[in-house]
Amino acid sequence: MTNQQKIQSLRDELNQHNYNYYVLDNASISDYDFDIKLKELEKLEQENPEFFDANSPTQRVGGTVTKNFETVTHKNRMYSLDNSYSKEDLLDWEKRIQKILGTTALEYTCELKYDGASINLTYENGQFIKAVTRGDGFQGDEVTANIRTIKSIPLTLKQDFLIDFEMRGEIILPLDGFTKMNQQRLENGEEAYRNPRNTASGSLKLQDSTEVAKRPLDCLLYQVVSSERKYKTHFESLENARKVSFKVPKTITLAKSIDQVLEFIHYWDLKRHDLPYETDGVVIKVNNLQQQEELGYTSKAPRWAIAYKFKAEQVSTLLNKITYQVGRTGAITPVANLAPVQLAGTTVKRASLHNADQIEKLDIREGDTVFVEKGGEIIPKIIAVDFTKRPENSTPTVYATHCPECNTELIRTEGDAKHYCPNEFGCAPQITGKIQHFISRKAMDIDGLGGETVDLLRKEGLIQNYADLYDLEVEQVVPLERMAEKSAQNMITGIQKSKEIPFEKVLFALGIRFVGETVAKKLVKHFKSIDNLMTADFETLVAVDEIGDRIAQSIIDFSSDLGNIQLINRLKSYGLQLEISKESLANQTNKLEGQVFVVSGVFHQMSRNELKKTIEDNGGKVSSSISKKTNFIIAGDNMGPSKLQKAEALAIAIISEQDFIDKVR
Ligand code: AMP
Ligand code: ZN
C-alpha cells in the first residue's frame, strides 16, 4: 500500500466508526483502539503533508481561532415557520393548501421540532464545504471550523447522494451532555448555563474551535435543498440522507391525513419528556416535493409546512412593579417586574404587558400574583391574574400619562393600541433608538459602529440624528472612552461606505413608523425616489397595493415634518442613495401592468422565483391560486390536472414559459 492509500483507508475506517457511534449510537471500536488509529493517521498526515484534507477525521479536534465570522449570503433563503396551536388551525392550513393545489389527495411528514440553532451545511461531490448560521434568513455567519468539530456531522459521505446540495438541520445540546457540562462548570467555580438551546447557539460563535470540540453538541437534520430532482418526496430524500451518513431522527413519520398528524402530535406531547433532547412542537410538511414547489413561500415562511406548538409551561409569581419603556418610535411598552421565578429552564424576572388595553382587559395590578407563560418567544407573557391572591387594598392600575424619560405628555391616536411620546427629537431613547435602527444590519449595515457607541456619541453631544453621523471626523471620535485611532478610523470608513447602500434599505433605515422592510421595498418599487414618495398625497399612497390608511398617514406625517425634510436634504447632500439605481430601473417596465399571473409546474429556462420576480419587475402581480381575477397561467411541466380543469372552466389563457419570455422581452 502506498502512503496515500494507507491514509485513505484509515480515514474511511475512522469515519465509519464515528458514524456508528455518533449517528447510529452503536459503538464498533473501543475508545482506546480508536485513539491508536487516529494517532497513526495523524502521524502519516504529518509525514505526508501533500495529502492534507480539511475533512479528515483528524481535523475534528479544532484548533482554528476565528475573530470575526464572515457574513455569507444564503444561496436559498432560510425561512421561518408559521405556527399552529390547535386541530382547527391545522384543518385551516390543509384547506388553504388544498385550494392552491386543487387536490385533496395529500400526504404529510411529521417531524419533531428540534429546539436549538439552525444551520445550513453545503456539500459538493460528497465533501463537506461550509456551514452557515441562519442569521436573518438572507445572510448568516460562516462557522465552518466550529461545525467541523461536531462528530455526528459527516465530512465525507459514505455513498453517492446528490452532487451539489445543502443540508439543513438544528444544532442541539442533548440534555445529559448539558447537565454534565454544567456539573463541570460548577466544580470549576463557574456559573451554570441557563438552558440547552442558548448554550447550543452560543457555542456556534465561540472563537476557538477547540472549545467547541469539547462541547457535546449534536446535529439533527431535517431538510435537503437541491435543484436536482432525484427524489419525489421529502420523506424519501431524508431516508436517503440518513443512508449516506446524516443524522436524521427515526421519529419522522408519514401521515395520510390531519387525523394521523394529530395522532403523532398527541403521542409526542406526552412522550417528549423521555427524549434525549428538547422539543417544543412538531413540524408538518407536505411530502410531495413538486407540490411543495407549487405551494411556494409567503414573505416569511413556506406554505408547505407548519409548526404545531405544544402548550407552553406556566408558573405563577408576584408582580412587584409596572414600569414603562420608550422605543425608537416613541412607542411606550409597559413592563411587569416580577419576583424571579424558574420557567422552562430560565429565570424570569420581567414580562411584557403589551399596552394599556391589555392591562385593563386582564385587570393587572401591582401586588397581584400572575400566571406567566413562555412559548417560543424570548420574552414571557402574563396570561392571567390569580384573583384569589389579590391583596385587599389593591387599586386598579392607572396607566402612565407622561414619558418616563423626558416627561412629555403621552398621546394615543385613535385605533392605535400603543401610547407614544411625541417628543421625537428631544427624547433620549428615541434619538438613540432611531440612530441604532439606522445603522443596523438590515438597514444601513454600518461596519465599525455599534449600538453602545451610538449612545456614547449622543451623550457626548456629537450626534443628535442620523444625518450627523456623516459629519463625524476621526479626531472628534478618538478621545472617546474605549476608542483608539484604528477603531475610530474603521467607524468613519464604515459610515462613508454606507452611502452605497441601495435606496430600499435607506428608506427602511429612516425609521418611518409602520414602514418595515417589506413595505419599504413596495414603496421603492412604486415611487422610485424619495421625492416622489414625500410629495405623494394620501390617495396616491393608499392606491398602492398593500399600503393601507395607517401606513399612508404615517408617511404623510413624516413628509410634512420640517425636521424630517431637513434631515432628508442633508442625507441627499452627503450622497446617500435616495432613488432607485439606474441598473435596477433598467430591468423594470410596466409591460404587465394590471395583469395577474398564476405560475404552475416545473420550468426549465428560469426558476420559479426568477419567473415571479420578472412578473413583478414588469408591473404584473403573482397570485397563488386561480380565480376569476387571473389573466394568465404560466404552465410548466406537470401542471396539476385540477388546475388545468379550473383554468379551462374559467376560460383563462394558459401560456408556456417561452410565451411569457417573449411577452416581456
Ligand atoms: P421558527 O424559528 O419558530 O420560525 O421556526 C423555524 C425553525 O425551526 C427553523 O429555522 C429550524 O431551525 C427549526 N426547526 C426545528 N426542527 C425543524 C424541523 N423538523 N423542520 C423544520 N424546521 C425545524
Ligand atoms: Zn419621551
Domain range 83-309, its CATH number among 3.30.470.30, 2.40.50.140, 3.40.50.261, 2.102.10.10? 3.30.470.30
pLDDT (0 to 100) of residue 378: 56
- Cell numbers at 411, concatenated: 398621546
Amino acid at 345: G
Query: Tell me, what's the pLDDT at 113?
Result: 97
414: pLDDT strictly greater than 60: yes
What whole-number distance in Å separates Cα of residue 59 and Cα of residue 54? 6
Ligand nearest to the CA of 251: 1
Question: Rg (Cα) of the chain, in Å, rounded?
Answer: 28
Is the pLDDT reported for residue 161 higher than 90? yes
N-term to C-term CA, the chain: 61
In the set 75, 113, 591, 646, the catalytic residue is: 113
**Ligand 1 closest atom vs CA 82:** 4
Cβ atoms of residues 447 and 423 within 8 Å: no
Q: ∠ at Cα 280 (346, 179), nearest 5°?
A: 50
Q: Which residue lies with its CA nearest to atom 4 of ligand 1?
A: 80
CA of 504 from ligand 2 middle (Å) equals 29
Q: What residue has cell string 452611502?
A: 499
Distance between CA atoms of 331 and 430, rounded to whole angstroms? Answer: 9
pLDDT over threshold 70, residue 377:
no
Which atom in ligand 1 lies closest to the alpha carbon of residue 81? 4
- In a mutational test of the pocket of ligand 1, which residue from 171, 280, 283 has the highest number of ligand atoms less than 8 Å from its CB? 283
Q: What is the pLDDT of residues 379-402, one digit of tens each?
A: 788 989 999 999 999 999 999 999
SS (H, E, C) 555-600: HHHHHCCHHHHHHHHHHHHHCCCCECCHHHHHCCCCCCCCCEEEEE
CA 119–ligand 1 middle distance (angstroms): 10
Cα of 325 from ligand 1 centre, angstroms: 31
What is the Cα–Cα distance from 16 to 28, expressed in whole angstroms? 9
Ligand nearest to the CA of 113: 1
Provide the H-helix boundaries in 320-400: 356-362
CATH superfamily ID and name for 312-421: Nucleic acid-binding proteins (2.40.50.140)
pLDDT tens by residue, 326-363: 988 899 999 999 999 988 667 889 998 889 999 999 99
What's the CA-to-centroid distance between 89 and ligand 1, angstroms?
18
Distance CA 577, CA 536 (A): 19
pLDDT score recorded for residue 62: 81
Atom of ligand 1 nearest to the CA of 134: 10
CA distance 323 to 353: 10
Report helix, strand or coil for 74. Answer: coil
Give pLDDT, residue 375. 59
Nearest alpha carbon to residue 589 among 611, 619, 614: 619
Handedness of CA 38, 42, 48, 53 (dihedral sign): positive
The arithmetic mean of pLDDT across residues 427-441, rounded, is: 92
Check pLDDT > 70 for residue 542.
yes
CATH number for domain 428-500, candidates 2.70.98.10, 1.10.150.20, 2.60.40.1150, 1.10.10.10? 1.10.150.20
Name the nearest CA neighbour of 345 among 382, 385, 380, 383.
380
Nearest alpha carbon, ligand 1 atom 17? 113
What is the best residue among 222, 264, 268, 279 to mutate for testing ligand 1's pocket, by most ligand atoms within 8 Å of CB?
222
Nearest atom within ligand 1 for CA of residue 252: 19
Residue showing cell 449516506: 244
**Mean pLDDT, range 630-635, rounded to an integer:** 91
- Mean pLDDT of the 168-185 span: 91
pLDDT at 95: 96
Plot region of 651 (φ>0 → left; ψ -120 to 50 → alpha; else → beta): left
Do 308 and 340 meet the contact criterion of CB atoms below 8 Å apart?
no
Q: Which CATH superfamily is domain 503-585 in?
A: 5' to 3' exonuclease, C-terminal subdomain (1.10.150.20)
Cell of 326: 420608550
Spelled out in words, what is the top-level CATH class assigned to the domain 596-664?
Answer: alpha beta
Cα–Cα dist 196/627, whole Å: 48
Ligand 1 pocket: which of 109, 170, 197, 238 to mutate (most atoms <8 Å of CB)? 170
* Residue pair 166/226 in contact by the 8 Å Cβ criterion: yes
Q: What is the mean pLDDT of the chain?
A: 91
Mean pLDDT calculated for residue range 497-521: 92
Please give the full DSSP string across 254-293, using - where no structure is assigned: EESSHHHHHHHHHHHHHHGGGSSS-EEEEEEEESBHHHHH
Enumerate residues lining ligand 1, CB below 6 A.
80-81, 111, 113-114, 118, 134, 170, 222, 283, 307, 376
pLDDT digits (tens, 9 = 90+) for 464-504: 999 999 999 999 999 888 788 888 999 999 999 999 999 99
Nearest atom in ligand 1 to the alpha carbon of residue 117 is: 12
Strand pairing report for 108-114 and 253-255: antiparallel
What does the domain layout of the chain look like in residue ranges?
A: 3-61, 83-309, 312-421, 428-500, 503-585, 596-664
**246-255, 487-496, 645-654: the lowest-pLDDT one:** 645-654
CA geometry: angle 363, 366, 367, nearest 5 deg? 110
pLDDT at 190: 75
For residue 182, with 0-12 CB atoms within 10 Å meaning exposed, 13-18 middle and 19 or more buried, which class applies?
A: middle
Q: Which of 82, 17, 4 is nearest to 50 (CA)?
A: 4
pLDDT of residue 344: 66
Altogether, the residues listed in the chain come to a count of: 665
Ligand index nearest the alpha carbon of residue 406:
2
Q: Which atom of ligand 1 is nearest to the CA of 220?
A: 16
* 187 pLDDT tier (thresholds 50, 70, 90): confident
Cell numbers that stand for 317 in this block: 409569581
Q: How far apart are CA 469 and CA 477, in angstroms?
A: 11
Among left, alpha and beta (phi > 0; psi -120 to 50; other), residue 601 is left
Q: Return d(Cα 288, Cα 105) in angstroms, integer.
A: 11
Does the fold of domain 503-585 match that of domain 428-500?
yes
Q: Provide DSSP, 145-167.
A: HHHTT-TTS-SB-SS---SEEEE
pLDDT at 376 over 60: no
Q: In what order do the strands lie in the sheet with 621-623?
A: 621-623, 596-600, 632-635, 653-655
Ligand 1 pocket test target in 74, 80, 81 with most atoms within 8 Å of CB? 81
Query: Ligand 2 centre from 72 Cα, in Å?
Result: 38
The answer to whether residue 113 is catalytic is: yes
Looking at residue 219, its amino acid is C
Q: Which ligand is nearest to the CA of 234?
A: 1
For domain 3-61, which architecture applies? Orthogonal Bundle (1.10)
C-alpha cell at 508: 427602511
Give pLDDT tens digits for 80-128: 999 999 999 999 999 999 999 999 989 999 999 999 999 999 999 999 9
312-334: burial string, b at 16+ Cβ within 10 Å, e else: beebebbbeebebebbbbbbbbb
For the ranges 191-205, 492-506, 521-535, which has the lowest average pLDDT?
Answer: 191-205
Residue with cell 462548570: 185
- Pairwise CA distance, residues 292 & 286, whole Å: 6
Residue 620 Cα, ligand 1 centroid: separation in angstroms?
Answer: 33
Protein residue closest via CA to atom 12 of ligand 1? 118
Whole-angstrom distance, CA of residue 75 vs CA of residue 166: 9
The set of cell numbers assigned to 156 is 465525507
At 268-310, the pLDDT tens digits run 988 887 889 989 899 999 999 999 999 999 888 999 999 999 8
Least confident of 129-133, 185-189, 430-434, 628-632: 185-189
Ligand 2: distance of its center to the CA of 425 in Å?
A: 9
